[in-house]
Structure 1
Amino acid sequence: MDFKYNCWKLLLFCFLILSATILHAQNTDVSGTVIDAATKKPLPFVVVSFPGTSYGVNTDNNGKYALSTTLAVTKLKVSFLGYKEALFTIKPGVEQIINVKLAPMANQLQEVTVRSGKKPKYRNKDNPAVELIRKVIENREKNRPESYPYVEYKEYDKMQFSFANLKKSIMDKKWLQKYNFVLQNRDSTTVPGTYLTPIYLDEKLTQYYYRKDPEKEKTITLAQRAANFGPGIDSEGLTVYMKHMYYKVDIYSNVIFLMTTNFLSPIANSAPTFYKYFITDTVVVNNQKLVELSFTPRNLTDVLFVGKLYVTLDGNYAVQKANLTINKNINLNFVNGMSVNLEFEQNPDGKYHLSKSTTIADFGLSQNWKGGLFGVREIAYGNYVVNKQEPDSTYRNQEDAVPEAAKNKTDEFWQKNRIDTLTTAESKIYKNTDSLRNMPSFKRTVDLATLLIAGYKDYNTFEIGPANAFYSYNPIEGVKLRFGGRTTPNLSKRYYFETYAAYGFHDQKWKGFLSATYSLNNKSIYKFPQNYIRASVQYDTYIPGESLQFVQEDNVLLSIKRGNNTKYLYDLSYRLDYVHEYANHFSYAFGLNRQNQSPAGSLYFTQQNSTGQLESVHNLYTTDITATLRYAPDEQFYQGKIYRIQVPSKNPVFTFNYDAGLKNVLNGQYGYQKVSAQIDKRFYLSQLGWLDFTGQAGHLFGQVPYPLLDIFHANQTYSYQIYSYNLMNFLEFVADHYESITLDQHFNGFFFNKIPLFNKLHWRETASFKSIWGGLSNENNPSLHPNLYQFPVTATGQPITNGLGHTPYMEGSVGIENIFKFVRIDLVRRFSYLNDPGVARWGIRTLVQFNF
């Protein structure tokens, strides 16, 4: 299951009890529209304020504004660069509408508009707007910060989430009165026309250094803090996921990544092919002549922006200001609207650098409701210095992890060092969150959300779960009940214990697990970076060759499988593991494992004895040492209760595994060596969505029975598994050397969006292809070596398990995702080995995943 949307769901769930609306009593509320007095066009970015106070807003893209205060104000000021300032008298304590016509300043260039009787067809050829945008594209690289030999600056990154326009009918309920300190903390200045109730805030202050030759960049975290909702929510991981939705916007990049989607920049190399451009105004700002370029998609269903660029005509053709709005016709879940405003400042050499970026998203539950969740990310840049060479040591030793000292800065430090400022409502979030976290009713709500979503119930020093494994069924054990839990850092940050007990009512056997972990860095073993030693013992059942993502075999949702599923193993293992992660996301792990595997159900181990007779083997003993090396540059993730949920990234992830069987050590019966390598990579394909690629290769050295060979990951459930073969049967193929690829393409509605009426469904297309090839050497072929375990066969003597031959196993699928916003259905086709017993050539599989 893809939990990409779970962090939003969790945050919303925790605050469902707070749904309410804003009170308007004793407020001075002023709203209206600001237009150009000459052209009658609405003016965005106009500053509307109450003089003598800190209350002020900017007009939106339609020139609209809304301003509110409880102060006794009598004046309203409206100002905009290039226009005459306007001052109005207002009545305090009442709601009023003031529409404004701003007159241009005398130094504004005159605009001449020529209209013909018939609207001409839009063309790039001989279009002055397109000629200008091509100049911007040609000069793009020299206007990037990386064009300087040296660059350094401070960056202040603020992310805030708020409920919008909460309903008064719910807020008046008695049981919500205890939360008034949250509900009454309102902000009407950030988003014109919208009343926000802030619930989450994250701030980060960094120092950035860049050197061009040899190229090197370094970011030092000076301070960071975020609202803390308690141990039930990974606040750091939540911030990572939220910032992934609100990626930093680089207008000079070909692709702008927002809401897990790639948008083509309006000044990308290929932008004139996808956008229409119009020169809509020419203004003078700070003695600098700027051209206002409006742009819109040629095809309104493409993943593109609508907006305006303000471009200099001084030879740099630099973007001085930009307003980007997500095209409302595209297929984007849970987002009613999103806009990005970029502001630039001029360097002493005449070039421009980004001074502020503001991204606002409306996560309303429907297009018709103006409430919901609003997210705002503001990034301000200060102390910008170019061409200043720092010592070589300044650019070395990049620290990926946030230093502990940066997490404990005082309020005085933040007040002194913030490049931007907090609104009055934002400044109260930390105190409100602390109060909320300690309220018993809020704790109960978080506990319930954690139980439903993560499957664990917290009892301070111990938590019980996971709940989805309490009940399961399989033909060997019958009904299987399981109960367990683990200790939390509240008991100890050094010592951790985890356990469960399970009982199968059909085989009437107890199973269980017990582990003891010692943290070497005195940090939670459930947090990054991990550094621990663990000893564990486990006795349970499993299916050879089954690999499930984000779930466990003891899961009620996986109790139903297709085909014959009576081949199981009882496994008793004793393990000793050491795991060490580094801040740069390189990690290694070493393990010692003593294992006893016994066949169960219809599975059997048989081999020829010295007299040539087949005899049953009841126990397979192995002792092996393992090593894993993993490197995931710039990896980010949300730390769940059981799994880390990765934030998708364009960076590859490399994994290398080594496994050595030790013969005659702790009764180990076989000596062998296994090596395998894997690379995972996401490719972003602009308008065509993205492609997830996984490549693997492995080789086994030595002679071993088939349970120790590489048993390919099959899936006989009805869920679609990305990294398993969905039409392969359990135990169908084994090999001692193999190579494989997995391709999973998401078109993000590229085709469906262009079909009238069909595009209203907001469905998205998927396609996948999986192939594995390799083989079984003569050394491990039981037909040539009868002393090896014989491959299982059916009751009629047909082979169940085979060595992979010269033909690779292949399967592919086409599917539709985003059904009801979270369901994916794939039609899967198997292309090879179609005559094997019990195989299915076609299948329909379902996956639940949340996507934006």
Structure 2
Amino acid sequence: MYMDFKSLLRKLSFTAFLLFYTSALFAQLTRVTGVVTDGGSKKNETMPYVSVGFAGTTIGAPTNSAGRYSITTDKPVKQIKASFVGYKDAFINIKPGISQVVNIRLMPVETELTEVKVKAAKKQKYRNKGNPAVELIRQVIAHRDLNRPEAYNYVEYKEYDKMMFSIANLSDKIANKKFLQKYKFVLENRDSTTVPGKSLLPLYLDEKLSQYYYRKNPEKERTVILGTRTVDYGGSIDKEGITELFKYMYAKVDIYDNSINLMTNNFLSPIANGGPTFYKYFITDTVTTDNGQKLVELSFTPRNLQDMLFEGKIYITLDSNYAVQRAKLGINKNINLNFVKSMGITLEFEQNPDGRYHLSKSTNLADFGVNKNKNGGLFGIRTLVYKNYAVNKPRPDTAYKKGVEDAVVSNEVSHRSELFWQQNRLDTLTTAEAKVYKNIDSLSHMKSFQRTLDIATFLLAGYKSFNWFEVGPSNAFYSFNPIEGLKLRLGGRTTPELSKRYYFETYAAYGFKDEKWKGFLSATYSLNDKSIYKFPQNYIRASFNRDTKIPGAQLRFVQQDNFLLSFKRGENDKYLYNDLYKFDYVHEYENHFSYTLSLNKLTQSPAGSLYFTNNAGRINNLTTAEASLNLRYAPNEQFYQGKIYRVPIPSKYPVISFDYTKGFKDIVGGSYNYQTVHARIDRRTYLSQLGYADAFIEGGKIFGQVPYPLLNIFHANQTYAYDLYSYNLMNFLEFVSDRYVAVNIDQHFMGFFFNKIPLFKKLKWREVASFKAIYGQLSNDNNPNLHPDLYQFPVRSDGTPITYSLGKTPYIEGSIGVENIFKFIRIDLVKRFNYLDHPDVSQFGVRARVKLDF
């Protein structure tokens, strides 16, 4: 039997439409519209964001910016209810089933009460649905892009940036100690007016005045630095690095951003897209400004008090802009934030001629201390003032084009006169702040203070200065390993006191087991008459290094001879003696692009149980001659310059590097012709309330036939410390390849999950997880099984392999862990997922890492 399904479907659809239409006709719809006015105002002013709904139901809506409302229901209702903080609830009878207009006058609550009755009220559960405060914040979010400066075609303004760091509430007992009397001129310079209840002793002050230009199409921005001024404690302290570090902690606060980075952590803005998921909002007041404009005071608090969230108030304009006109942001005392006792941010906005607002002043205060219950500690204040704000005022193209002078602060700009600052400073200095420059200059020239600074430098950085020469680093004076046994090392380097052009560095070391001397010597010449440790670097260097090395070991920001790295797991007796002659030319540009040209001659000799052998027998050493080019681009990179390394300050910007190396045969003893390429991208990604992830992806390839010491030997770690950049359950020399791709992700959740668990919440621990994978292959050209004239992979005495090539399966390891234990310890449980049949490998391991963070 044949059935016409299309005809049946049309009939069913028509029937369903009739049923729906009929039900809609007979439904009793009640629609109420109207205006809510202020009964306590003589002008009967309209009231925005009043909650209006049908009594006894959850159906309702807030009034708009003009005080109008409209609500509809098909339920049997008889009353509507209007409510607003500070006003009496209004109940008005209505006629069900029809459309009607009901205007409402709300009367303010009387301030004088003749009788007070206290009753236990049933606690109402907070929810977003039907909440006028949430409806208001959603309007602010929807208009966020409109209220940013980038909404204009052109923007320009002057910016004054002041960063001050102080000791708070220094005890008089300490200040009056006899040995501190010579520093009395510094200790008595107190400020007790800026922050109520705080006696601030300023020790650091930095000022910067700049002019900012922005153009929307094509988008360009430029900042011209007009003047800078910073206290100077002398050469032992990198004042530029300290400034960048402080300003990284006290980053500029843009409330219109989704996330605000402060104290090295990511805070969610109260007007972020996901704000209603993590915050509770309450309309707590209406405020009238001096010019008669009404604002809504919106209070907010975190749903979870341990999360990286603010609490405070924002004041929102009652016009079509829904702009933030003022903001007060703070943190809850239970927040999972280390060493910060309190923090407060005040944002002030001024009105443009078109009625929109721009940020005019930002003040960020933070109180630091190891013990949050004690009154003393450190106190920092960053103040930003914006003046001469102009919008939609086009300038010539040259105003928006960045030049060399924008990136590097000239000597003139960094040494502006006192008169310049008096005439151009957009804010005022307190009496105590005004004395800081002179006080610190006098302090830095005192011999007793210089000796104290030298001791502190030696303890913290490991170097002891003797004017033009400094000895160190101290953590490498003593170490040990199976090849050298006890190893003593002593070295140092010249300082700019000798010359700003010429630098020399050296060390000598002796192993008492192998009875061999090792050493290093380098000579560096600065081409730009600046310290070779300062950005931008531009120098040439020649060096010679004779020392031991573990194949495949990689250390970043750590000395190879660090005493703590002497402790290793498993078998660790495969070393190389290296003689390295090297010539480098390093050139950095102001836009943070750099290149390095290198010429190397390296002779590697096996030591311990490591050996070089092929079908012709044992080989004593391997010599290579190389020329290499490294390209690196790190936009907006900032760093702190330490004594040994300059440490990058993390940011959202990627770091891209590319390396090319050419090996030459029969040139200065080189044994092989080959080429290698390597590329890598590093980036930190901020994930709002989920913390942040540090990740990199890299790949490399070798062209030509080479023995295994010249292959990619994957970076293994056999210490008990967790290494971010190595494979923590891989053995030294375990894997080699001539082409590979690797990915590494280190995720910090910053307590997002633990903050919901009572015990962990109290301990303020934080979750971490990592994933590392490497996929590589060894071509037939470099397989010693196919080419006996190549060096054979090393094996143990019983013939079991030590070194392998990766197969079709990538090497994978991952970890889960806890950080912030005692505020500075991280412990990971590491799992190795494959290649578990290799000898002396573990599926699991526990690794620790010291990390001090906020």
TM norm. shorter chain > 0.5: yes
In the alignment, the residues of structure 2 paired with residue 773 and residue 728 of structure 1 have an alpha-carbon distance, to the nearest angstrom, of 14
Equivalent in the alignment of 1:254: 258
Higher alpha-carbon deviation: 301-310 or 418-427? 301-310
In the alignment, the residues of structure 1 paired with residue 759 and residue 169 of structure 2 have an alpha-carbon distance, to the nearest angstrom, of 32
Equivalent in the alignment of 2:581: 574
Equivalent in the alignment of 1:22: none
**332, 335, 346: which is aligned to 2:340?**
335
In the TM superposition, 1:248-647 aligns within 5 A as: 248-285=252-289, 286-398=291-403, 399-609=406-616, 615-647=617-649
Query: Are the aligned partners of 2:339 and 2:372 in contact in 1 as well (CA < 8 Å)?
Result: no
In the alignment, the residues of structure 2 paired with residue 560 and residue 702 of structure 1 have an alpha-carbon distance, to the nearest angstrom, of 37
1:110 deviates by 8.2
1:244 deviates by 0.5
In the TM superposition, 1:705-716 aligns within 5 A as: 705-716=707-718
Equivalent in the alignment of 1:179: 183
**790, 803, 813: which is aligned to 1:788?**
790
Equivalent in the alignment of 1:133: 137
Equivalent in the alignment of 1:848: 850
In the alignment, the residues of structure 1 paired with residue 760 and residue 634 of structure 2 have an alpha-carbon distance, to the nearest angstrom, of 40
Higher alpha-carbon deviation: 386-395 or 747-756? 747-756
Over 3 Å counting, the alpha-carbon distance change for 1:110 and 1:251 in structure 2 is farther
Aligned residue identity for 1:217: E
Aligned residue identity for 1:137: I
In the TM superposition, 1:85-124 aligns within 5 A as: 112=109, 117-124=121-128
Over 3 Å counting, the alpha-carbon distance change for 1:466 and 1:813 in structure 2 is same
Query: Are the aligned partners of 1:303 and 1:327 in contact in 2 as well (CA < 8 Å)?
Result: no
In the alignment, the residues of structure 2 paired with residue 110 and residue 706 of structure 1 have an alpha-carbon distance, to the nearest angstrom, of 87
Equivalent in the alignment of 2:805: 803
Q: Does 1:229 align with 2:233?
A: yes
Query: Are the aligned partners of 1:211 and 1:217 in contact in 2 as well (CA < 8 Å)?
Result: yes
Q: Does 1:668 align with 2:673?
A: no
In structure 2, the residue corresponding to 1:839 is in which secondary structure? coil
In structure 2, the residue corresponding to 1:210 is in which secondary structure? strand
In structure 2, the residue corresponding to 1:336 is in which secondary structure? strand
In structure 2, the residue corresponding to 1:829 is in which secondary structure? strand
In the alignment, the residues of structure 1 paired with residue 204 and residue 110 of structure 2 have an alpha-carbon distance, to the nearest angstrom, of 47
Query: Are the aligned partners of 1:743 and 1:769 in contact in 2 as well (CA < 8 Å)?
Result: yes
Equivalent in the alignment of 2:72: none
1:327 deviates by 2.4
In structure 1, the residue corresponding to 2:241 is in which secondary structure? helix
Aligned residue identity for 1:838: D
1:517 deviates by 0.5
Q: Deviations over 1:435-458 (max 9, x none)?
A: 111112211121111111111111
1:364 deviates by 2.1
Aligned residue identity for 1:321: R
In structure 2, the residue corresponding to 1:130 is in which secondary structure? helix
TM-score for both structures, normalised by structure 2: 0.85
Q: Deviations over 1:561-606 (max 9, x none)?
A: 1111111111001111000001111000000001111111111000
In the alignment, the residues of structure 1 paired with residue 843 and residue 279 of structure 2 have an alpha-carbon distance, to the nearest angstrom, of 44
Aligned residue identity for 1:806: K
In the alignment, the residues of structure 2 paired with residue 371 and residue 651 of structure 1 have an alpha-carbon distance, to the nearest angstrom, of 36
Query: Are the aligned partners of 1:549 and 1:721 in contact in 2 as well (CA < 8 Å)?
Result: no
Q: Deviations over 1:81-107 (max 9, x none)?
A: xxxxxxxxxxxxxxxxxxxxxxxxxxx
In structure 1, the residue corresponding to 2:814 is in which secondary structure? strand
Equivalent in the alignment of 1:214: 218
Aligned residue identity for 1:236: E
1:293 deviates by 0.8
In the alignment, the residues of structure 1 paired with residue 457 and residue 326 of structure 2 have an alpha-carbon distance, to the nearest angstrom, of 43
In the alignment, the residues of structure 2 paired with residue 718 and residue 757 of structure 1 have an alpha-carbon distance, to the nearest angstrom, of 28
In the alignment, the residues of structure 1 paired with residue 108 and residue 787 of structure 2 have an alpha-carbon distance, to the nearest angstrom, of 90
1:484 deviates by 0.5
1:120 deviates by 2.8
1:319 deviates by 0.8
Query: Are the aligned partners of 1:221 and 1:403 in contact in 2 as well (CA < 8 Å)?
Result: no
In the alignment, the residues of structure 1 paired with residue 817 and residue 675 of structure 2 have an alpha-carbon distance, to the nearest angstrom, of 39
In the alignment, the residues of structure 2 paired with residue 617 and residue 364 of structure 1 have an alpha-carbon distance, to the nearest angstrom, of 60
Query: Are the aligned partners of 1:111 and 1:281 in contact in 2 as well (CA < 8 Å)?
Result: no
Equivalent in the alignment of 1:77: none
In structure 1, the residue corresponding to 2:596 is in which secondary structure? strand
In the TM superposition, 1:689-728 aligns within 5 A as: 689-728=691-730
In the alignment, the residues of structure 2 paired with residue 113 and residue 827 of structure 1 have an alpha-carbon distance, to the nearest angstrom, of 63
In the TM superposition, 1:4-15 aligns within 5 A as: none
In structure 1, the residue corresponding to 2:435 is in which secondary structure? helix
1:113 deviates by 9.0
Structure index of larger Rg: 2
Higher alpha-carbon deviation: 417-426 or 443-452? 443-452
User: Between Structure 1 and Structure 2, how many residues are aligned?
Assistant: 740
1:539 deviates by 0.6
In the alignment, the residues of structure 1 paired with residue 785 and residue 622 of structure 2 have an alpha-carbon distance, to the nearest angstrom, of 20
1:403 deviates by 2.6
Higher alpha-carbon deviation: 435-444 or 520-529? 435-444
1:111 deviates by 5.1
1:326 deviates by 1.5
In structure 1, the residue corresponding to 2:758 is in which secondary structure? coil
TM-score for both structures, normalised by structure 1: 0.86
In the TM superposition, 1:7-86 aligns within 5 A as: none
1:818 deviates by 0.9
1:391 deviates by 0.2
In the alignment, the residues of structure 1 paired with residue 725 and residue 413 of structure 2 have an alpha-carbon distance, to the nearest angstrom, of 39
1:405 deviates by 2.1
Over 3 Å counting, the alpha-carbon distance change for 1:332 and 1:795 in structure 2 is same
Equivalent in the alignment of 1:815: 817
In structure 1, the residue corresponding to 2:316 is in which secondary structure? strand
In the alignment, the residues of structure 1 paired with residue 749 and residue 760 of structure 2 have an alpha-carbon distance, to the nearest angstrom, of 15
In structure 2, the residue corresponding to 1:189 is in which secondary structure? coil
Aligned residue identity for 1:384: Y
In the alignment, the residues of structure 1 paired with residue 679 and residue 108 of structure 2 have an alpha-carbon distance, to the nearest angstrom, of 64
Aligned residue identity for 1:458: S
In the alignment, the residues of structure 2 paired with residue 670 and residue 559 of structure 1 have an alpha-carbon distance, to the nearest angstrom, of 34
Q: Deviations over 1:174-225 (max 9, x none)?
A: 1111111111101011111111111100111110000001111000111111
In the alignment, the residues of structure 1 paired with residue 110 and residue 341 of structure 2 have an alpha-carbon distance, to the nearest angstrom, of 34
In structure 2, the residue corresponding to 1:142 is in which secondary structure? helix
Aligned residue identity for 1:231: G
1:121 deviates by 2.4
RMSD after superposition:
1.5
1:401 deviates by 2.6
Identity across aligned pairs (percent)? 66
